[in-house]
Amino acid sequence: MTEFSRSSRPDHAGDRNPDRHGVDQRRAGGPPLGPLAIVALALTIAGIAALVLGSGSAPDPFAPPSEIADWYAVNPATVRIGALLQFGSAVPLGILTASIYARQLRLGVRVPGPVIGLYGGALASIALLSSALVTWSLGFPDGGAGSPETTAVLARLAFGFGGVGYATGLGLLMAGIAVPALILRFVPRWLAWAGLVLAGLGEVSFLSLGVEPLQTLLPIVRFGGGAWLIAIAFLLPHSRPKRGPEPFGAPGSGHDRIGG
């Protein structure tokens, strides 16, 4: 009944216009993916650059509470600027996620991948927003309520949201894009496989909560994933060829055999 309803609805001239090659030229709609991916990564880099240039580097989340509290007390303006840019990067990421999900549906992807990607992208965006707000609150003299232990707890919470939480969500987003793109050949196979590798690293990055050396996975997923999303944003097609009836007698059509 559902398929009949879909096929019985009249097509609007502005919605689709199959060309002579049988490609469904639906109006794309929504914002362009490329600029969104670029802005999201650019703001991410700017936020980290602001922290590095203004303070050298953030303290390790496993550092003693007194060391973490001292760093936030000495660099309040740098912390707030970095949090502002990080918050800004989360917004285009969320829009990009929704736009890619809509693109996949227009391409006819009817498997769990797009929904997994949508969930992952929303998770990554919300994690960035949460991390930025917690970090911003620490950029004030009373951010840790005068207690090094409280400052350390909030700083680790910001790290958990913006590091592990973001990497895990981004990994799901990349997996939800890469798997259908690989199977349906929307993008070059090497690019789809690269996305799957980055997605896998993102999913195992949660181990860095207990194994400190695995924190090196976080920047790999953050920057590698951002660059991968830019490539996907420009290469993901707007439409896919529609399969028409195969010519009579064509190999594999079922009419090339006697009695077919």
Q: Which pLDDT tens digit goes with each residue over 74-89?
A: 888 889 999 999 999 9
> What is the per-residue pLDDT across 171-188, written as a single tens digit (0 to 9) for each?
999 999 999 999 999 999
Residue 122 counted as domain residue: yes
Locus of tokens 């990349």: 174
Report pLDDT for 53.
Answer: 83
Residue 251 counted as domain residue: no
Residue 180 counted as domain residue: yes
pLDDT class for 96, splitting at 50, 70, 90? very high
Q: Per mean pLDDT, which of 133-147, 189-203, 231-245 is the most reliable?
A: 189-203
Report pLDDT for 140.
Answer: 83
Cα Rg, the chain, nearest whole Å: 23
Report pLDDT for 170.
Answer: 96
Locus of tokens 């469904």: 24
| pTM (predicted TM-score) | 0.79
Amino acid at 68: I
Residue 91 counted as domain residue: yes
Locus of tokens 């609150």: 137
Domain of 106, in residue numbers: 30-235
Residue (of 129, 99, 123) closest to 31 by Cα position: 99
Number of domains in the chain: 1
Q: In angstroms, how far is CA 208 from the centroid of its own chain? A: 20
Residue 51 counted as domain residue: yes
Look at the chain and count its residues: 260
Residue 252 counted as domain residue: no
Residue (of 98, 33, 92, 89) closest to 230 by Cα position: 33
**What mean pLDDT value characterizes the chain?**
82
Report pLDDT for 136.
Answer: 93
Give the list of residues 6+ apart from residue 246 with CB closer than 8 angstroms, or none.
252, 253
Given a cut of 80, whether residue 159 has pLDDT beyond it is: yes
Residue 11 counted as domain residue: no
Report pLDDT for 213.
Answer: 87
pLDDT class for 258, splitting at 50, 70, 90? very low
Beta strand spans in the chain (E): none
The 3 state secondary structure assigned to 53-96 is HHHCCCCCCCCCHHHHHHHHHHCHHHHHHHHHHHHHHHHHHHHH
Residue 146 counted as domain residue: yes
CA separation for the pair 260, 221 (Å, rounded): 53
Locus of tokens 């590091």: 163
